[in-house]
Amino acid sequence: MAKLNYVFTSESVSEGHPDKVCDRISDAIVDLYLSHDPQARVAVETLATTNQVVLAGEVRGPDSIKADQLVEVARAAVKDIGYEQDGFHWEKMDVKCFVHSQSADIAVGVDAAGNKDEGAGDQGIMFGYACRETPALMPAPIYYSHAILKSLAEARHSGAAPQLGPDAKSQVTLQYIDGKPMRATAIVLSTQHAEGLEQDAVREIVLPHIVNCLPEGWMCDDKNLYVNPTGRFVIGGPDGDAGLTGRKIIVDTYGGAAPHGGGAFSGKDPTKVDRSAAYAARYLAKNVVAAELAEKCTIQVSYAIGVSKPLSVYVDTHGTGNVDEDRLSDVLQQLVDLSPRGIRTHLGLNKPIYARTAAYGHFGREPEVDGGFSWEKTDLVGDLRNAFL
């Protein structure tokens, strides 16, 4: 039997967190290649430390894209985040590029040829999840953790909070009663700030953003609100701690409220099922919940490298569903072709839409006119209801 009364915590990190800086750079490079060739293959990792950025990985795309363009993309990403500090500055940082051509062995297994459809770019398991805890059908702790940091980032970029720096982390602990989130029992907010800004002043700046992002009456008491608990956070970003692409995968997904397959998203083009199949699994789970076939839904898909069709499609409605889960799995596979090509076609993933995903979560966002966050659409609701209701 599922536990109904408990407290649960999720964290988020801002676009200026060292790992998120790296995710942003890697995804900006993915966008660069896809903007030149929608069929480009990209798997690029980024490392960042004090005034140093290192790019490494494999690509298959236009020869016209040279290393100096990748370096400029990295600088532009860091500039947009807002780093102009002594220890990490978009213009002064040294950028080394070790990006090279994709392995021919991988290409042979993945490419379509003759009667063979395009195969998965790697083996692996991917999960999608949705629940009724928030309007975006996301778990509440991660949803509000993201919202707080996004609000602070918007204030920083607009000039409303000029004394805050790009690096920040949030953590929201919620109390669940009868399986539903009711209030925050603790909130942690750490944000980089200008030299000389005292802890109480930081608290005064961030408090309205926290209160305004939570539902009315959910705010924790003052003693359980921790703002910059170490007292000082001037040195931050890659100058304070090295960053790597793909090191915040739980922040990227469901904040630990649902399983994660282990593969990172950023830096990978959508032929990599680590990314595209995780998006598809979220899309299917969200549509199941939006169609009111279940209060919550977890979907797992699995793949073998070079094989087009998924090896398995598992559906779990956690005892909240009103339809047969095996039949639901069959219906979902009838509605969406879950081969790598089928996912990319259905969701329109071969577009430069990925840099925007690098911070504040890949899920729970609004679908955008140019195809961004297409996996958040609920356009299967009618078909699902017709199949079951």
Residue range 201-214, pLDDT digits in tens: 999 999 999 999 99
Query: Is the residue at 245 inside a domain?
Result: no
Q: Is 17 marked as binding a ligand?
A: yes
Q: Is 379 marked as binding a ligand?
A: no
Q: Which amino acid is at 226?
A: Y
> What local confidence, expressed as pLDDT, does residue 121 receive?
72
Query: 110 CB contacts (<8 Å, ≥6 apart)?
Result: 118, 119, 120, 121, 271, 305, 306
Query: Is the residue at 314 inside a domain?
Result: yes
Read off the CATH number of the domain in which 220 is found: 3.30.300.10
Q: Is 168 marked as binding a ligand?
A: yes
Yes or no: say if 288 and 384 are a contact pair by the CB < 8 Å rule. Answer: yes
Query: Is the residue at 209 inside a domain?
Result: yes
Yes or no: say if 260 and 282 are a contact pair by the CB < 8 Å rule. Answer: no
Query: Is the residue at 263 inside a domain?
Result: no
Spatial CA neighbour of 189 closest among 174, 209, 214: 209
Q: Which residue has the higher pLDDT, 160 or 110?
A: 160
Q: Which run of H or of E encompasses 245?
A: none
Q: Is 373 marked as binding a ligand?
A: no
Whether residue 107 is predicted with pLDDT greater than 80 in this model: the reply is no
Yes or no: say if 227 and 203 are a contact pair by the CB < 8 Å rule. Answer: yes
Query: Is the residue at 353 inside a domain?
Result: yes
Whether residue 218 is predicted with pLDDT greater than 80 in this model: the reply is yes
Q: What is the pTM of this model?
A: 0.95
Q: Is 337 marked as binding a ligand?
A: no
Q: Does residue 226 share a domain with residue 152?
A: yes
Could you tell me what percent of the chain has a pLDDT over 70? 96
Helix (H, G, I), strand (E, B) or coil at 243: strand
> Domain ends where: 212, 236, 260?
236
**Residues involved in catalysis:** 17, 19-20, 45, 58, 169, 233, 241-242, 247-248, 268, 272, 274
Q: pLDDT by residue (tens digit) across 6-57? A: 999 999 999 999 999 999 999 999 999 999 999 999 999 999 999 999 999 9
Q: pLDDT by residue (tens digit) across 63-92? A: 999 999 999 999 999 999 999 999 999 999
Spatial CA neighbour of 18 closest among 181, 209, 235, 217: 235
Tokens representing 307?
């094989």
Whether residue 109 is predicted with pLDDT greater than 80 in this model: the reply is no
Q: Is 133 marked as binding a ligand?
A: no
Q: Does residue 359 share a domain with residue 287?
A: yes
Query: Is the residue at 116 inside a domain?
Result: no
Query: Is the residue at 253 inside a domain?
Result: no
Q: Does residue 284 share a domain with residue 350?
A: yes
Strand partners, 275: none
> What local confidence, expressed as pLDDT, does residue 120 receive?
79
Whether residue 116 is predicted with pLDDT greater than 60 in this model: the reply is no
Domain count, the chain: 3
Q: Does residue 189 share a domain with residue 157?
A: yes
Q: Is 198 marked as binding a ligand?
A: no
Give the whole-angstrom CA distance, residue 10 versus residue 17: 16
Q: Is 248 marked as binding a ligand?
A: yes
Range of the domain at 169: 6-14+139-236
Give the whole-angstrom CA distance, residue 344 versus residue 279: 10
Helix (H, G, I), strand (E, B) or coil at 101: strand
Provide the sign of the torsion angle of the four alpha carbons 314, 320, 325, 330, taken in this order: negative
Q: Does residue 363 share a domain with residue 221?
A: no
Q: Does residue 331 share a domain with residue 223?
A: no
Q: Is 58 marked as binding a ligand?
A: yes
Q: Does residue 291 share a domain with residue 232?
A: no
Yes or no: say if 111 and 262 are a contact pair by the CB < 8 Å rule. Answer: no
> What local confidence, expressed as pLDDT, does residue 115 receive?
47
State the DSSP string of 140-189.
HHHHHHHHHHHHHHHHHHHTSSTTEEEEEEEEEEEEEETTEEEEEEEEEE
> What local confidence, expressed as pLDDT, does residue 2 receive?
72
Q: Does residue 293 share a domain with residue 384?
A: yes
Q: Does residue 67 share a domain with residue 49?
A: yes
Q: Does residue 100 share a domain with residue 60?
A: yes
Spatial CA neighbour of 313 closest among 348, 357, 268, 343: 343
Query: Is the residue at 334 inside a domain?
Result: yes
Which strands sit side by side in the sheet containing 52-60, from one edge to the other? Answer: 94-101, 52-60, 41-49, 243-244
Give the whole-angstrom CA distance, residue 22 versus residue 45: 8
Q: Does residue 173 share a domain with residue 309?
A: no
Burial class (CB in 10 A: 0-12, 13-18, 19+), 3: exposed
Give the whole-angstrom CA distance, residue 90 versus residue 279: 31
Q: Does residue 283 share a domain with residue 370?
A: yes
Q: Is 327 marked as binding a ligand?
A: no
Q: Which residue has the higher pLDDT, 320 or 305?
A: 320
